């Protein structure tokens, strides 16, 4: 029987209430009496890089996974933890109502995480500042900014290491200039002129690129808006701490939708793009052509990590939008609706100003 990943409760040693992780510290804090409980690192705790090929083989026999109890949103499909005793809530990622109907899923346990550093109040202030800076955001949304619900969630991710070797063949283009003679008409007469024309000579090029990729990051969620999750980077991965459930207390943790094989496939695409850039730099010259290359990977390792994100999922006129804050740096990304009235008034103002300028110019 597989072990089950359940939300642990951490009672306050002073008043008995439940402790929650306090962002920006290494402590659990009681929201009622303020009592702090330091999260002390266990002896021997270390963040390990796991052998990728060995785990891919083990996944086929479920040898390296745990059983997780999660709730699934029928709206966006996100699978996440929920605070104990809560039977209904809004989905963190799409804002739709969900009922806590547990689903069982086999998951690789996280090895490490980045604890929250940005507080809930700082995230809420960032949302208000962000929405008020959007000129064409609807007025009703700006007025309700104080009442928007913001939730802290740990987002699943993979990091990959790989020692790569890439032989290649290509061509180096070097520009040179030639003087070209041509005829043109000037003042009704045909005259001869010269001009400089740029041309390119191509030379064969070949070589081998060797590069060690360290902590190539792949988000393992499909719940964030496409592209917005990547825009939250960079993440200070050098400050990862070993996984400890106490850091999750008071927060939501999402289960990964992008599994290890899919994550590795995406990681190789990211590495491949970097390798192509390295080949072009190695070829040199003014232009480069890559005719052939082949990358081999050795000593591949991975980590399953959790990243802290403050999320506000809100609905406006039956459309869903998301606001995101990097829980470490405060970097803000988000979707927002546009006010058709404000846009129309802006266009009318521009037309009126242009019309006034034309009128004045004509009468002067």
For residue 286, tell me if it sits in a domain: yes
Q: How many CB atoms lie within 10 A of CB 174?
A: 13
What pLDDT sits at residue 22? 87
Does residue 123 belong to any structural domain of this protein?
yes
| CA 7/CA 9 separation, integer angstroms | 7
Say which residue the tokens 């070097």 belong to.
Answer: 174
Is 184 within the bounds of a domain? no
In which domain, by residue range, is 287 found?
4-41+51-170+204-348
Rounded to whole angstroms, the Cα distance separating 174 from 217 reads 36
Q: Is residue 358 part of a domain?
A: no
The number of domains in the chain is 1
Report if pTM > 0.85.
no
pLDDT at 297: 96
Beta strand ranges found along the chain (DSSP E)? 4-5, 19-21, 27-30, 36-38, 50-51, 66-72, 79-80, 88-90, 97-99, 102-107, 112-113, 151-186, 189-219, 241-242, 252-253, 287-293, 296-316, 319-326, 332-334
> What pLDDT was estimated at residue 1?
29
Per-position DSSP letters for 282-296, written without gaps between them: HH-SSEEEEEEE--E
Within a domain: 144: yes
Domain-located, residue 226: yes
Residue 86 resides in a domain: yes
Collect the ranges in the chain with pLDDT lower than 50. 1-6, 43, 63, 84-88, 136, 138-140, 142, 145, 337-339, 341-342
Q: Does some domain include residue 198?
A: no
The pLDDT of residue 99 is 56
pLDDT confidence of residue 43: 46
Q: pLDDT, tens digit, for every residue of 238-247? A: 999 999 888 9
Contacts of residue 89, defined as CB under 8 A and 6 or more positions apart, other chains included, come to 82, 97, 98, 100
Reported as a single tens digit per residue, the pLDDT across 226-240 is: 777 888 888 999 999
């Amino acid at each position: 029987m597989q072990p089950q990943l359940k939300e642990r409760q951490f009672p306050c040693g002073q008043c008995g209430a439940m402790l929650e992780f306090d962002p920006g510290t290494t402590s659990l804090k009681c929201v009622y009496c303020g009592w702090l409980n330091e999260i002390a690192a266990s002896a021997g705790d270390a963040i390990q890089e796991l052998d990728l090929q060995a785990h891919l083989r083990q996944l086929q026999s479920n040898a390296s996974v745990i059983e997780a109890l999660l709730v699934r949103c029928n709206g966006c499909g996100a699978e996440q933890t929920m605070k104990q005793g809560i039977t209904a809530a809004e989905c963190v990622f799409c804002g739709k109502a969900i009922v806590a109907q547990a689903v069982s899923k086999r998951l690789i346990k996280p090895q490490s995480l980045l604890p929250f550093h940005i507080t809930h109040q700082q995230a809420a202030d960032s949302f208000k500042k962000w929405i008020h800076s959007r000129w064409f955001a609807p007025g009703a949304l700006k007025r309700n900014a104080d009442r928007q619900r913001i939730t802290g969630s740990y987002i699943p991710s993979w990091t990959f290491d790989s020692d790569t070797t890439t032989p290649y063949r290509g061509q180096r283009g070097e520009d040179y200039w030639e003087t070209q003679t041509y005829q043109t008409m000037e003042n009704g007469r045909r005259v001869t002129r010269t001009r400089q024309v740029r041309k390119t000579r191509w030379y064969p090029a070949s070589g081998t690129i060797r590069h060690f990729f360290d902590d190539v990051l792949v988000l393992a969620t499909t719940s964030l808006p496409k592209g917005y999750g990547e825009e939250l980077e960079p993440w200070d991965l050098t400050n990862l701490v070993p996984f400890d459930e106490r850091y999750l207390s008071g927060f939501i943790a999402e289960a990964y939708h992008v599994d290890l094989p899919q994550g590795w496939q995406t990681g190789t695409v990211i590495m491949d793009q970097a390798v192509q850039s390295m080949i072009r730099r190695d070829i040199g010259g003014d232009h480069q052509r890559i005719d052939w290359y082949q990358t081999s990977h050795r000593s591949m390792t991975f980590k399953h990590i959790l990243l802290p994100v403050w999320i506000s999922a809100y609905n406006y006129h039956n459309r869903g939008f998301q606001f995101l804050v990097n829980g470490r740096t405060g970097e803000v990304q988000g979707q927002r609706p546009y006010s058709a009235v404000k846009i129309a008034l802006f266009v009318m103002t521009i037309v009126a100003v242009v019309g006034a300028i034309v009128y004045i110019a004509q009468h002067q």
